[in-house]
Every structure is written in C-alpha cells, then in structure tokens.
C-alpha cells in the first residue's frame, strides 16, 4: 500500500490526544458514599476491573478512529502493476461535436452524453491539475491549459458544429498543447462516436496516455448529395450547361424513390427520382441555363430523414460575357484580322508592344496573345511562366524569323515541345479535335463542312513524350498545327505557323478562329471549385486584387458578415477563413459595398457515413486504452484507478465511522 499524500501521516501524532484524555479523565477518583460497607472491598475490586476493561476498549476505539481518519486524508492506494501517475498532470479532453454527435443514443443525444462524460473526467482529477478542452473547431482559445473550473465552463459551451476532423489531426493538436506545459504526466481523452472515416489512429504516441471513450448511437439510414460539377471546364452563357450530381446511399437498403430538385434564380424545379443501391451511388444530370454573366449560384436538394444536414448542396460559379485579352505585338504592325476579331463584343482587348508590358497587371487578363516577337527575353519568359502556372492562358504565334534559341529556352522550362527549323512548305489542316474543350460543342455540323485553315510555312514541333502535347489542329501529314500544353494551373497554346496572313490564313477563318480565341480565354486551368467544405477549405482565392491597401474584403452570407485575413499571391488574393464560416450557403465577397464574387460552402460529407468503429476495432489500436462510457461511476472509478491506483480512502472513512459508532455503543450500553 502506498500513499498519495504521505505528508499527512505526520498527523498520526494525534493518537496521543485520546491517550491523554484517558489518562486525565478515566484516572480521576470519585467519592462514593455507602450506607453499608460490608461488601465494599469485593464490590470495589469487581467494579474497578470492569471499568478498566471498558476504558481500555474506548481508548482503543478512539485511537483506531484517529488513525483511520489520518490514513484517509493521506489517501492510501494499491499501486497498479504499471505504476501510478504521481506528480502534476496535464489532461486534454477532446469532445467530438460534429453533426453525427447530434444523433440519439438510447437515452439522450450523443453530444449531451459526451459533455456529461467530459465533466466526469475533469471532476475525477485534482484542483491542481491542468486541462485542455478541444472541439472540432480548433479554436485558438482552446490551445492552452486552464484550471478545473474554466475547463468545466468550456465543456458547458460546447454545441454541435459543422467541422469534422480526422482523429490523427486531433491527437496531434492535443499533443502540441500538452507539450507546452511542464507537467510530469500527459493524458489524452477522446470522446466520440468514432465513425470509421475519421478513425485513422494507427498507433498513439508512447509519451502520451491515450484513452478512448466511445459513445454508441442508434443506427440511422442516410442519403446525401456527395458532390456536383459541370461537365465543361467552365459554364457558358445562354446555354444548357450540363451539371452532374452524385447522390450516395450510406444505408444497407436499396432506395428507389429519392427525389432530386434544383433551384436557380429563386425558381425550383423537380429533376426526377433516383434509385440508389445500398452502399452505392448514382450520377444524375441537371441542365442549367445561365442567362446572366458574372457570379451566379444554384442549389441542389434531396429529401431525406432524419439526417438532413447533407440533403442540400450549394454551388457558386462565374460566367463571363467578355474575355479580357492582352495582345503583345513584336513588330508594331498588328494583324488586321486579329484586331477585327478582338473588337467583337465578347472581347475586351488591350494591345501593347513587347517594350511596354506592365508585368504587374498580367493577372488581370484572361488571355495573352503573343505575335511577331523576334525573341523571348529571359525576363519576359519568366513572367509568362509564372502567369501560366498561376492559371493564365497564352496563345503564341512565332514569326518566320524567330530566334529559336530564346523560344526553345522558354518552351523547355514550361515544359512544352520545342520549335525545329522553319520549313517553307504548304500544309493544310485536316483534323480538328472537337473532344477538347476549345472546340467541343462549337460546331453543330460535321467537320467536313468546315473551311479549315492552311499555312505556307511552319516550325515542325518536337514530340517529346513527357511534354504532354495535346493537338488541337493537325495537318494532313499528321504533324501538329496548333498544340495545347498544360502547366501549373494554366495553358500554353502554341501555333507552329506565324500569324502573318501571307503565311497562315487561320485568322481569316472566323468560324474557327473566333470561338477558338473565346474558349481559350475562358479555359483557365485554375478553375475555382463550385463549392468549398466548411472546416476543410480554410483559404479561398479571388482574382479581384485591389491596388489600395486600405480596401477591406468582406464575406457576407447566412452565417453573418466577417472580414477574412488577406494575402496577395501574384495576381490573386488569398482569403483565410479561420473557421469563421459557421453555416452552409452562398457567401458574397463585398468590396466597398459592391458584390464582386460569390463562394458556396457546404457541410463536410465525411459525417454522412454513419458507420462506426466497434469497440474491438478501437482496442486493436496499439498504445490506447478504451474506457466504458455507459456508466458514470465506472468511468470515474476507472480514471481514478489509472491515475491513483486502487484508492482505499473510502474504506478508511467507513472504518472511522464504525470505530466512533462502536465507541458510542460501548459508552451507552456498557454500564459499570
């Protein structure tokens, strides 16, 4: 037997108190008057013997009561085989407050049970111990150790939230806080329903005492809208844009009457019913006719009960009616046909020479067209590379007298196929790749009816397998006339022939040239997601960069209005959300009270899969302990045994009471 507070054993000296009382009280002589002293000696001897025996028994009971009380305050315990956690303790308690914790257990909502168990854990420790109360929000105020009462207050404030975290990330966050203190013992508790898709613990840190407290929910069926995306890279105005939606059945029964509906510009319409196999998914199509340029939003919805947070899918998109084009010309004599094409209403064009490029504003353009540049300087090449990798589109027409060394240096860095020696040879384009976005769904008639371009000379392109060439136009001999190369988030479109009308008549073929320019401008590889996930996507980007540092970016939506942290990255601005989006919906980016862009946020679908880890699964995780959450008394007793050993102080309290009761009975019924 060991003692948690052995210093209290000094109080055993109090045993002298009943001894002193015995000496000064029971040894007092009393005068007794007898009328008849005949039997005085015999009675005196008998009474003295019985009195001495009773007094010694009372003294013994009082001494035992004092000893038992002192031992109770010293808190004796029987050490466990692996030893008791002696010294200061830092305790981190994670309470899973995701949507799945709103489910019902057999007696109360899981989150209520989780809060009760968290309080029990805190109460099981001493007032000198320190605590962290962590939820899925990963709030900054929870990144420190606090006292017992403050921890209890934090537990009372826990509510269901939209965030969902992998348990490995939770454990890493707990470990980072526990290591900031100087406690001798670091203890972790995880209170959760332990869904399989978040339970990714492989092995706990050996320096931590990791305890899992699993809660059991009533099994429910669930159907959710998993995701949605446009079939084309970007939606287009005044067209039936094909929107694909994936609906998933997380239950173990086939469903054949799941109703899907869509809402756009305040008008809802049914999209039919779906049949979804158990544990499977289906992809359905919705056509969305976008009639207004700029930012737009839509909503997809199914009807499912009782789990409803994943029945609505918000999406936001942006369509443009005018492509912002920067034409960089090398010989100060712009091609007449190109200029005429860029004067159409679908383009907003700017023309500069190679010497007057404002590199800081390249990010404001959707498409850069380079013509007749005799060479590409290293500085220009680096700026173009950064622009392409950042999501820009470049259309390059090399002149017949191009400096191949500088051109190929630029192309090899991207990387893209290089230009070989110029060949003056007539070639006709015979192939057009209508499966690629640039020419997809552009022509209603067969390609054989098209008047395809031809050239009088061109640069044959190398065909390196690792350059990722995608031929958009091909000559009859199979060589490439116009190639596409993806680099980073953007695209390079490389023509093997100059734009000079004496050499290449592509600009004269308006039916090919104009839609080609337009779709190149809207084909940025940096396609903003239709929707972000609350708690997972903490940074969104906008291309609306403001020159003034005093401009304030605001996000306004169903969860309120807040100012995100902003950081300029090239021609874009990254907005850090910092967990400030509490509710799903469409949030508008407001600059000077003008709405410039929209972002859609949905709840994390990780919570949709109501499939839980069993107790056996959790016990198989190395270096963790699984605690019983069904009984409050069992949980508290288990915690105290693990932190203090087998406590015996209760038994000594009962012993103290029994000794005092025995003393009272002796004094009451043992008459001398």
CA distance linking residue 347 with residue 376, whole number of Å: 26
Residue 327 exposed, middle or buried by CB count within 10 Å (0-12, 13-18, 19+):
buried
Q: Going by DSSP bridges, is the β-strand pair 454-455/646-647 parallel, antiparallel, or unpaired?
A: unpaired
- pLDDT number for residue 390: 81
Same domain for 50 and 186, yes or no, is no
Low-confidence ranges of the chain (pLDDT < 70): 4, 25-48, 77, 79-86, 204, 233, 444-449, 524-527, 543-550, 570-571, 633, 640-647, 672
- pLDDT number for residue 542: 81
Q: Are the CB atoms for 354 and 381 separated by under 8 Å? A: no
Residue 218 exposed, middle or buried by CB count within 10 Å (0-12, 13-18, 19+):
exposed
Query: 148-157: per-residue pLDDT in tens?
Result: 999 999 999 9
Cβ contacts of 430 within 8 Å, gap of 6 or more? 452, 474, 475, 476
Neighbours of 337 (CB within 10 A): 17
Domain presence at residue 527: no
Same domain for 363 and 485, yes or no, is yes
- pLDDT number for residue 148: 92
- pLDDT number for residue 504: 93
Tally of domains within the chain: 5
Same domain for 438 and 336, yes or no, is yes
Same domain for 467 and 568, yes or no, is no
Domain presence at residue 437: yes
Domain presence at residue 325: no
Residue range(s) defining the domain that contains residue 259: 223-320
CA distance linking residue 281 with residue 283, whole number of Å: 7
Same domain for 116 and 20, yes or no, is no
CA distance linking residue 260 with residue 286, whole number of Å: 10
Q: In what order do the strands lie in the sheet with 393-397?
A: 347-353, 323-329, 367-371, 393-397, 490-495, 480-487, 470-475, 427-432, 454-455
CATH code where residue 177 lies: 3.40.50.410
CATH code where residue 442 lies: 3.40.50.880
31-59 burial, b for 16+ CB within 10 Å, e for fewer? eeeeeeeeeeeeeeeeeeeeeeebbeebb
- Angle at CA of residue 530, ends 527 and 533, nearest 5°: 115
Neighbours of 251 (CB within 10 A): 18
Question: Tokens 């809802």 label which residue?
Answer: 268
- pLDDT number for residue 483: 95
- pLDDT number for residue 34: 58
* pTM listed for this prediction: 0.68
- pLDDT number for residue 174: 93
Q: Which is nearest to 534 in space by CA: 498, 477, 582, 499?
A: 582
Same domain for 405 and 287, yes or no, is no
């Amino acid at each position: 037997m060991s003692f948690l507070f052995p210093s209290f054993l000094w109080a055993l000296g109090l045993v002298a108190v009943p001894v002193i009382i015995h000496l000064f009280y029971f040894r007092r002589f009393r005068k007794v008057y007898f009328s008849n002293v005949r039997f005085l000696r015999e009675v005196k001897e008998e009474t003295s013997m019985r009195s001495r025996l009773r007094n010694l028994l009372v003294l013994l009971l009082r001494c035992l009561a004092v000893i038992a009380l002192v031992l109770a305050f010293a808190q004796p315990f029987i050490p466990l085989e692996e030893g008791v956690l002696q010294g200061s303790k830092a305790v981190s308690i994670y309470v899973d407050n995701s949507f799945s914790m709103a489910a019902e257990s057999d007696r109360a909502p899981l989150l209520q049970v989780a809060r009760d168990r968290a309080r029990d854990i805190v109460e099981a420790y001493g007032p000198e111990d320190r605590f962290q109360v962590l939820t899925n929000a990963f709030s900054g105020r929870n990144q420190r150790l606090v006292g017992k009462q403050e921890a209890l207050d934090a537990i009372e404030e826990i509510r269901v939230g939209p965030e969902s975290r992998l348990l490995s990330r939770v454990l890493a966050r707990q470990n980072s806080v526990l290591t900031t203190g100087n406690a001798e013992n670091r203890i972790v508790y995880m209170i959760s329903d332990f869904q399989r898709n978040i339970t990714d613990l492989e092995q706990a840190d050996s320096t931590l005492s990791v305890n899992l407290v699993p809660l059991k929910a009533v099994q429910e069926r669930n159907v959710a809208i998993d995701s949605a995306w446009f079939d084309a890279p970007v939606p287009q105005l005044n067209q039936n844009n094909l929107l694909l939606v994936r609906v998933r059945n997380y239950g173990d029964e086939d469903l054949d009457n799941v109703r899907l509906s869509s809402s756009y510009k305040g008008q809802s319409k049914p999209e039919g019913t779906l049949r979804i196999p158990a544990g499977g998914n289906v992809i359905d199509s919705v056509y969305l006719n976008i009639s207004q340029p700029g930012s737009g939003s839509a909503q997809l919805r199914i009807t499912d009960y009782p789990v409803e947070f994943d029945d609505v899918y918000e999406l936001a998109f942006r369509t443009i009616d005018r492509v912002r084009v920067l034409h960089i010309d090398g010989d100060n004599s712009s091609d007449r046909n190109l200029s005429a094409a860029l004067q159409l209403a679908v383009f907003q064009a700017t023309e500069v020479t190679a010497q007057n490029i404002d590199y800081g504003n390249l990010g404001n353009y959707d498409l850069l067209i380079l013509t007749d540049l005799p060479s590409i300087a290293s500085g220009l090449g680096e700026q173009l590379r950064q622009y392409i990798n950042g999501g820009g589109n470049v259309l390059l027409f090399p002149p017949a007298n191009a400096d191949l060394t500088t051109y190929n240096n630029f192309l090899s860095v991207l990387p893209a196929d290089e230009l070989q020696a110029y060949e003056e040879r007539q070639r006709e384009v015979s192939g057009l790749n209508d499966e690629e976005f640039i020419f997809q769904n552009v022509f209603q008639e067969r390609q054989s009816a098209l008047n395809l371009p031809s050239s009088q000379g061109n640069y044959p392109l190398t065909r390196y397998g690792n350059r990722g060439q995608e031929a958009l136009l091909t000559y009859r001999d199979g060589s490439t006339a116009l190639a596409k190369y993806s680099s980073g988030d953007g695209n390079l479109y490389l023509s093997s022939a100059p734009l000079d009308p004496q050499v290449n008549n592509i600009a004269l073929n308006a039916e090919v040239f104009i839609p080609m320019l337009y779709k190149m401008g809207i084909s940025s590889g940096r396609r903003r997601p239709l929707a972000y996930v609350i708690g997972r996507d903490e940074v969104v980007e906008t291309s609306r960069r403001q020159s003034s540092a005093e401009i304030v970016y605001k996000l306004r939506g169903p969860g309120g209005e807040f100012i995100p942290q902003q950081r300029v990255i090239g021609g874009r601005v990254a907005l850090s959300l910092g967990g400030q989006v509490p509710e799903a919906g469409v949030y508008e980016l407001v600059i000077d009270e003008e709405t410039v862009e929209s972002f859609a946020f949905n709840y994390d679908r990780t919570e949709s899969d109501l499939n839980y880890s069993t107790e056996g699964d959790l016990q198989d995780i190395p270096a963790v302990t699984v605690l019983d959450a069904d009984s409050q008394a069992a949980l508290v007793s288990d915690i105290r045994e693990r932190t203090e050993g087998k406590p015996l102080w209760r038994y000594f309290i009962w012993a103290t009471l029994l000794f005092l009761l025995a003393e009272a009975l002796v004094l009451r019924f043992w008459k001398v």
